[in-house]
């Protein structure tokens, strides 16, 4: 039993072909939108790639870019095919191309859905990448004279100022690393030497943060040092301390930034997938309806179109059998002795030897 069977007249087939021609050209535009969103997402990720541990998350924008390019090419060809399918004589030129085109469009539509799901599922991977990358970048914040790391200080300062954040998970993360270069430490100072000796790894650790953690909303000059000693500051108000430094960690700030972008892109991609699914369904109806017209032999007659010629179970069973029997095409069965038992082969060899001896 066919799935989704519909009867089309000649006028309806022509109208369907014209509508699909228009929809395919709209799909070219949606493909360009996919391409643009992929490029935008790639640039946004590369903008802060220095604070990410790995670039594995780039597979999502690459997927969108590839799918967008494929959408432009496939739908451009589909517009030409659908326009010619309005005429039975022109359809004969595309008859052998229609089924591969439908299959390619099906897999392409599945790739669009996969791209939308990737945008939702990348959050956990992105969060881990930001956590490890920020920790690594903060560790080398002080190395402004080391090749390959000299721009990390500038990148982290811009990040904390632009996203109004501080540290990895909070401003206390700066207390656990030496973020001041040893070049600017006065080793003649007893306090500095004692602090270096008191640390097992010989690091100069302080309860202080870089200037980029300071909030311009603070009602007083920013307090960057001795943050764990409120009595060291005149007229210090613990309740207004949240106005002094940014409280939110940069990992959460960047994660929220990318999450908003990903959710917006995934929603648009999902709408494009539904639109492409509509186009695919119409192309399938047009293909089957035109093939049935050719079988009847009367271009003016009605014809039936469907999504699947048989039921889902029958279609799955037939496809499974085709795949299972693919290997049999490569079996060699022209050997006359392939099915002869070993005893019969030995008897034939002995009889041939006897005939040779008689002739000799």
Would you call 221 exposed, middle or buried from its count of C-beta atoms within 10 A (0-12, 13-18, 19+)? exposed
CB contact at 8 A, 13 and 290: yes
Highest mean pLDDT among 130-139, 222-231, 318-327, 328-337: 130-139
Residue 39: band (very low, low, confident or very high) from pLDDT cuts 50, 70, 90: very high
Task: Tell me the three state secondary structure of residue 331.
Answer: coil
pLDDT tens-digit map of 302-328: 888 877 776 666 766 665 565 666 555
- Weakest-pLDDT range from 112-126, 155-169, 182-196: 182-196
Residue 39 to residue 51: CA distance in whole angstroms: 20
Q: Which residues pair with 305 in a beta bridge?
A: 6
Mean pLDDT of 58-83: 90
Indicate whether 300 pLDDT > 60: yes
Percentage of the chain lying above the pLDDT 90 cut: 31
pLDDT tens-digit map of 131-146: 999 999 999 998 887 7
Helices (H), the chain: 10-47, 59-84, 88-121, 123-139, 152-162, 190-198, 250-296, 312-324, 342-359
Per-residue pLDDT, 352: 54
Residue 246 to residue 166: CA distance in whole angstroms: 6
Residue 117 to residue 273: CA distance in whole angstroms: 11
Name, in order, each residue with C-beta under 8 angstroms of 55's C-beta and a sequence gap of 6 or more.
45, 49
Indicate whether 340 pLDDT > 50: no
Residue 338: band (very low, low, confident or very high) from pLDDT cuts 50, 70, 90: very low
Name, in order, each residue with C-beta under 8 angstroms of 192's C-beta and a sequence gap of 6 or more.
185, 186, 204
Residue 251 to residue 134: CA distance in whole angstroms: 7
CB contact at 8 A, 249 and 243: no
Catalogue the long-range contacts made by 45-48 (C-beta closer than 8 Å, 24 or more residues apart).
45/258, 48/155, 48/159, 48/254
Choice between 190 and 43, residue whose per-residue pLDDT is larger: 43
Indicate whether 56 pLDDT > 80: no
């Amino acid at each position: 039993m066919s799935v989704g069977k519909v009867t089309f007249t000649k006028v309806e087939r022509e109208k369907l072909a014209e509508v699909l021609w228009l929809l395919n050209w709209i799909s070219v535009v949606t493909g360009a939108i996919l391409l643009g969103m992929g490029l935008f997402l790639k640039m946004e990720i590369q903008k802060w790639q220095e604070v990410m541990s790995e670039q594995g998350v780039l597979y999502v924008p690459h997927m969108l870019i590839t799918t967008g390019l494929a959408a432009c090419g496939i739908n451009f060809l589909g517009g030409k095919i659908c326009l010619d399918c309005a005429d039975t004589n022109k359809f004969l030129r595309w008859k052998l191309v229609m089924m591969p085109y439908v299959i390619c469009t099906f897999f392409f539509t599945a790739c669009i859905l996969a791209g939308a799901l990737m945008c939702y599922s990348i959050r956990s991977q992105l969060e881990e990448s930001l956590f490890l990358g920020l920790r690594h970048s903060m560790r080398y914040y002080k190395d402004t004279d080391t090749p390959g790391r000299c721009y990390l200080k500038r990148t982290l300062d811009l990040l904390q100022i632009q996203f109004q954040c501080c540290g990895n998970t909070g401003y206390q993360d700066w207390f656990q690393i030496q973020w001041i270069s040893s070049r600017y430490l006065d080793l003649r100072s007893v306090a500095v030497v004692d602090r270096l000796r008191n640390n097992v790894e010989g690091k100069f650790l302080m309860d202080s943060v870089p200037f980029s953690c300071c909030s311009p909303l603070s009602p007083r000059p920013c307090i960057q040092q001795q943050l764990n000693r409120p009595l060291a500051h005149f007229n210090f108000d613990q309740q207004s301390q949240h106005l002094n430094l940014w409280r939110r960690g940069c990992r959460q700030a960047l994660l929220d930034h990318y999450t908003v972008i990903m959710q917006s892109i995934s929603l648009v991609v999902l709408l494009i997938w539904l639109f492409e699914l509509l186009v695919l369904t119409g192309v399938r109806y047009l293909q089957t309806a035109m093939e049935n017209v050719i079988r009847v032999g009367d271009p003016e007659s009605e014809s039936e179109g469907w999504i699947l010629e048989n039921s889902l179970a029958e279609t799955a069973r037939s496809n499974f059998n085709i795949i299972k029997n693919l290997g049999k095409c490569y079996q060699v069965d022209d050997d006359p002795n392939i099915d002869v038992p070993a005893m019969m082969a030995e008897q034939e060899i002995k009889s041939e030897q006897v005939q040779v001896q008689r002739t000799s």
